[in-house]
Structure 1
Amino acid sequence: MNLYICLFSMGFLFILSIVCFFSSIYFIMNMISIFMEWELFTLNSSSLLMTILLDWMSLMFLSFVLLISSMVIFYSNSYMSSDLNMVRFILLVLMFVFSMILLIISPNLISILLGWDGLGLVSYCLVIYYQNVKSYNSGMLTVLSNRIGDVMILMSIVWMLNYGGWNYIFYMSFMKNDLYMYIIGWFIVLAAMTKSAQIPFSSWLPAAMAAPTPVSALVHSSTLVTAGVYLLIRFNFVLNDTLVFKGFLLIAGLTMFMSGIVANYEFDLKKIIALSTLSQLGLMMSILSMGGYDLAFFHLLTHALFKSLLFMCAGIIIHTMNNNQDIRYMGNLIKFMPFSSFCLVVSNLALCGMPFLAGFYSKDLILEVVLLSNLNILIFFLYFFSTGLTVCYTVRLVYYSLMGDLKMPSLMNLFEEYSDMILSMLFLSFMSVIGGSMLMWLIFPVPVMIYLPLLLKLSILMVMFMGVLMGLIILLSVKFMKNLMSFYLMKMFFSEMWFLPNLSTFGLNYYFLNKMVVYGKVLDGGWSEYLVSLNIKKLVLFSMKNFQLIQNNSFKTYIFIFYFWLLSFMLLFFMKI
């Protein structure tokens, strides 16, 4: 039964993905957009409409979401085969995909809210799928961080009521300089910051790794974390060249820089890949803040391909190594798991921007546009140093997991016989190789003219090689520096994501929890306990004893009640006379 549901879901999503992809090519060639609108009801001259916008961008993104979702479901057929609630898992993934589809095709803030809130709710259900304390804490951190973004969307809906409708796509061009649209833009940027985990909302993204690995492959490639980027791409025309985007450029650059540093101190395999997602989200947001919405969309699509493959490789390694995620226990996997190691290396090289893989076309183009732009030295440093850090933690990950000696404490049976996993990984590795050039031809039919001196042109490759060198230096120096107190303090600061988890959880919760303790002592354990709870208890006990006395069916009790009734009757009778 589970197999049939998986295969049917995978086949349906895959066919729909192919249809959307070829439709997007047709829409690009003929410059077509389709806008459909249904009026649900009207209230006080404001119409609540269900609208769908189909253009090349929404169809292209939709095809990639559906493609990766179909591969993830096919991959889950083996990965989650021993799970008792397999059908529930597949239904949750399908609900997640449906929420993302609703968000992609909606030019209306009401229907965007439905998809946006659906993503937050279903992601909570998926993060707490393995029911334990760690998953619960991670799920609460995820859903409460995302609720801030939901409130911002609600505030945008309230402010857009001034225009008499919620189809933002109608108002973006000629209301660009309006104060209301500027305020709406602020709310949209804050909502995108929470969903795409920019500073200071970054702590939920590594915590969401408590979800099953197929969910991580879906969430961190094309759905949940990219929703904020996609929304800002749609709102780009309103916010471009504004003060909001100039400040947001710094925040995105710092997010990229912070996640690159933290990933170099992390030992959890899935968290390293999650932090690399955070770094790439910072790259997308920063180039988007500079006005390159098409470049951000291009990197969004190429990143989705190799990041889903990277998580699938991590999943098969974790599965084979008896659910162990610590890279310090791994080693020499290239000998035991050659195909998975090959896919891991391909996806990591695409992440670094190795020439002629998928990530190279988008990442190289973004960095060349940065070199061509009029930027200050701080933003320039954040871009290129973060790119070097990406290569650095990739080298570290490959060294720990694929090279050296196997460090597991007991004899393990390492093998690759998961046919469904390998087939889905093979398809995505093929797309990670050819996807970048294919999308380059489609999204940029006219070549982008970038004229740079030879040294600047080669600077991106130089940064990559310097990242490799820096990664090797860090690996060698850790052995000699690990006993130094300064190294320990630096490691603690960086491995804790600049103490963002403490600020977002303990920093916010401690004050309120402390006040609740005081409240409990003074009120619940104080006067209210004495005056209300104890007195009610005494009254109830007294009443129960008396009723129990009546219910004992004692003849003396009945005679006493009869005499009492007779005496009362006689008193009333004589008082009337």
Structure 2
Amino acid sequence: MVNICIIYFYFMSFFSLLFFSLSVYLLVVDFAYFLEFNLVMINSGSIAMTFLFDWMSLLFMSFVLLISAMVIYYSREYMGNDIYLNRFICLVVMFVVSMMLLIISPNLISILLGWDGLGLVSYCLVIYYQNVKSYNAGMLTALSNRVGDVALLMGIAWMLNYGSWNYVFYLEELKGDFYMSIISWMVLLAAMTKSAQIPFSSWLPAAMAAPTPVSSLVHSSTLVTAGVYLLIRFNFTFGDLLLYFLVFISSMTMFMSGLGASFEFDLKKIIALSTLSQLGLMMMILSLGSYKLAFFHLLTHALFKALLFMCAGNVIHCMGNCQDIRYMGGLISLMPITCSYFNICNMALCGLPFLSGFYSKDLVAEVMSMGYLNFYIYVIFYVSVGLTVCYSFRLVYYSFVGDFNFFSLSSVSDLGLTMIKGMTGLIFFVVFMGSTLSWLIFPFPYVIVLPFILKVMTLLVIFIGAWIGYEFSKFVVGQNSLSFGFYSLSWFLSGMWNMPVISTYGVNYYPVVGGSYLYKILDQGWAEYFGAQKIYGLLTGNSMSMQVLMFNSIKVFFVLTIMWIIIVFMI
């Protein structure tokens, strides 16, 4: 079992380094490779498989492979007691391969292969622990994503108007075309479901039923980032109306998930909602026209979010699978290495200067200040950035500070060396990769000239958010006369504005009630009367009349004999 993890670890690490080197080379020489393999030729119509290797696809693939290698190495210990570890590792590898296919495809058909591969394998991984909660979460995940899959299929059908599914050839040339605008809306719908934007957000925290290494992979660089990556590829063809719609939806997603995380107590769900907030941030800056900046934040976010989940997994593993942050506390003295890594990632998430998250997040915030859209977008952006810091500090306050609230007899320590090694492999990238990427991706530095108050607005919002998170944690911990109104508000906000209820009970209720009425009226009513029951009644009636003869056969025989004798004598 150990061997397969080690083999995949070295294999993925090697290819990650190779793809990164090729990406830097292609970026420097400004070059791209477009490979086309003719699979079959039918009546002069060719079916070809195409791959696009440019700096963007290779760089993203190198990050996916790096994180996957660390996660598989980490899984050796985290999933060490699982008798089906080989099957788990194979599922993870299938997941990564599907993501690779999606990244290098300039063709909607091959994108759909990777897209549906992600959907199917993610369902298998979410239901991995095989209990009722996992099955419900898996079904919600699969059905939410089917909406986007259908949208992508409709986009494929519309692309028949152009004679080819290689969308990269048509993006800029056919920007104002009616057919291309319809395809753009279909792609946007697909990306919204995969990246869990409002109103499809409820599946993302539900998918936390999967094992933690899977969550680490899914929420950093694979499943949820597929939608953002697709939009980055398609961004040249988006019209103004679509971008206005996207900026509104993404800003609401950012705000909703930030508020939800500030009221949540499940460790993994807090980090999942944090992912949702960052996805909203990427979509938002993409819809404001900076696709390179969205890609930059996508890469830096992948690093610290993967490590954040791995640290959370280590804490959960040591605490006997307890995920409630109210049972934690004082972990800094028991798990110093894990807590240090966790705090570094949290600081990167908040945008603390000179960690990797700072380079992308600060640039996003300054570009936001420089390119003014309207007051609503500006305010909700900075409030959401502040909420990120708020829930991060709340998480640190509950988990690492104060008294230990778990069992007195427990084995919480940093002795899981394999997990620590897997996490250590990422911590250097979390610290240093932001600056490296900013030098690589942007050939010349952004010079953003702003008034002093706008320049320090990001830092100001970070400090205010940290203070609010700290005060809010103390208030809720003390249970200072929590009124029913406050309790209801916190329940509503932590429940993602009732979205999970709407997307399950709200979708199921009317079809189920309507089905029961139809069952009564048709199946047990008119259809029954004119169908099976009518035939049954006719057959039973006829057979019963025949039974009168059958049960009285001797009497009937004698009567017929007497009648026959009478007829004979009469003649």
Q: TM-score, normalised by structure 1?
A: 0.91
Report the CA distance between 1:526 and its aligned residue: 5.3
Report the CA distance between 1:534 and its aligned residue: 11
Indicate the residue corresponding to 2:443 in structure 1: 445
2:223 is paired with a residue of what secondary structure? coil
Indicate the residue corresponding to 1:392 in structure 2: 390
Separation in 2, partners of 1:4, 1:84: 14
Change (3 A) 1:135 1:535: farther
Segment of structure 1 superposing worse, 506-515 or 327-336? 506-515
Change (3 A) 1:481 1:511: farther
Indicate the residue corresponding to 1:176 in structure 2: 175
Tell me, yes or no, if the aligned pair for 2:397 and 2:470 is still in contact at 8 Å. no
| Amino acid aligned to 1:16 | F
Partner of residue 415 from structure 1, selected from 397, 413, 416: 413
* 1:183-332 alignment runs, 5 A limit: 183-239=182-238, 241-332=239-330
Report the CA distance between 1:489 and its aligned residue: 1.8
Partner of residue 466 from structure 1, selected from 464, 467, 486: 464
Tell me, yes or no, if the aligned pair for 2:95 and 2:117 is still in contact at 8 Å. yes
Separation in 1, partners of 2:313, 2:395: 15
Change (3 A) 1:482 1:146: farther
Change (3 A) 1:47 1:181: farther
Report the CA distance between 1:536 and its aligned residue: 7.5
| Amino acid aligned to 1:307 | K
* 1:492 lines up with 2:481 in the alignment: no
| Amino acid aligned to 1:226 | T
Indicate the residue corresponding to 1:347 in structure 2: 345
Report the CA distance between 1:528 and its aligned residue: 6.0
Deviations 1:259-301 (A, max 9, x none): 0000000000000000000000000000000110000000000
1:51 is paired with a residue of what secondary structure? strand
Tell me, yes or no, if the aligned pair for 1:352 and 1:464 is still in contact at 8 Å. yes
Deviations 1:43-85 (A, max 9, x none): 6876432100000000000000000000000000100010111
Indicate the residue corresponding to 2:552 in structure 1: none
Separation in 2, partners of 1:210, 1:164: 43
Tell me, yes or no, if the aligned pair for 2:12 and 2:65 is still in contact at 8 Å. yes
Indicate the residue corresponding to 1:568 in structure 2: none
Indicate the residue corresponding to 1:337 in structure 2: 335
- Gap regions ≥5 residues in structure 2: 544-571
Tell me, yes or no, if the aligned pair for 1:482 and 1:488 is still in contact at 8 Å. no
Separation in 1, partners of 2:240, 2:359: 28
Indicate the residue corresponding to 2:356 in structure 1: 358
Change (3 A) 1:318 1:482: farther
* 1:383 lines up with 2:381 in the alignment: yes
* 1:39 lines up with 2:38 in the alignment: yes
Deviations 1:350-380 (A, max 9, x none): 0000000010000000000000012211100
Indicate the residue corresponding to 2:404 in structure 1: 406
Separation in 2, partners of 1:400, 1:161: 55
Report the CA distance between 1:236 and its aligned residue: 0.7
- Gap regions ≥5 residues in structure 1: 544-577
Separation in 2, partners of 1:136, 1:155: 29
Separation in 1, partners of 2:536, 2:90: 49
Tell me, yes or no, if the aligned pair for 2:372 and 2:378 is still in contact at 8 Å. no
Report the CA distance between 1:477 and its aligned residue: 2.9
Indicate the residue corresponding to 1:432 in structure 2: 430
2:224 is paired with a residue of what secondary structure? coil
Indicate the residue corresponding to 1:77 in structure 2: 76
Tell me, yes or no, if the aligned pair for 2:71 and 2:422 is still in contact at 8 Å. yes
Report the CA distance between 1:520 and its aligned residue: 3.6
Deviations 1:103-162 (A, max 9, x none): 000000000000001100100000000001100000000010000110111011000000
2:91 is paired with a residue of what secondary structure? helix
Report the CA distance between 1:427 and its aligned residue: 1.4
Change (3 A) 1:148 1:338: same
Deviations 1:459-516 (A, max 9, x none): 1111100001111221233335552122012112101101111111111111111122
Separation in 2, partners of 1:11, 1:535: 70
Tell me, yes or no, if the aligned pair for 1:46 and 1:164 is still in contact at 8 Å. no
Change (3 A) 1:492 1:532: same
* Identical counterparts, % of pairs: 59
Change (3 A) 1:525 1:309: same
* 1:22-33 alignment runs, 5 A limit: 22-33=21-32
Change (3 A) 1:454 1:46: farther
Tell me, yes or no, if the aligned pair for 1:270 and 1:314 is still in contact at 8 Å. yes
Deviations 1:288-326 (A, max 9, x none): 001100000000000000000000000000000000000
Separation in 1, partners of 2:313, 2:92: 17
Deviations 1:401-442 (A, max 9, x none): 001111114521212221211011111111100010111111
Change (3 A) 1:355 1:504: same
Separation in 2, partners of 1:246, 1:48: 37
Report the CA distance between 1:40 and its aligned residue: 2.7
| Amino acid aligned to 2:345 | S
Tell me, yes or no, if the aligned pair for 2:151 and 2:187 is still in contact at 8 Å. yes
Tell me, yes or no, if the aligned pair for 1:152 and 1:190 is still in contact at 8 Å. yes
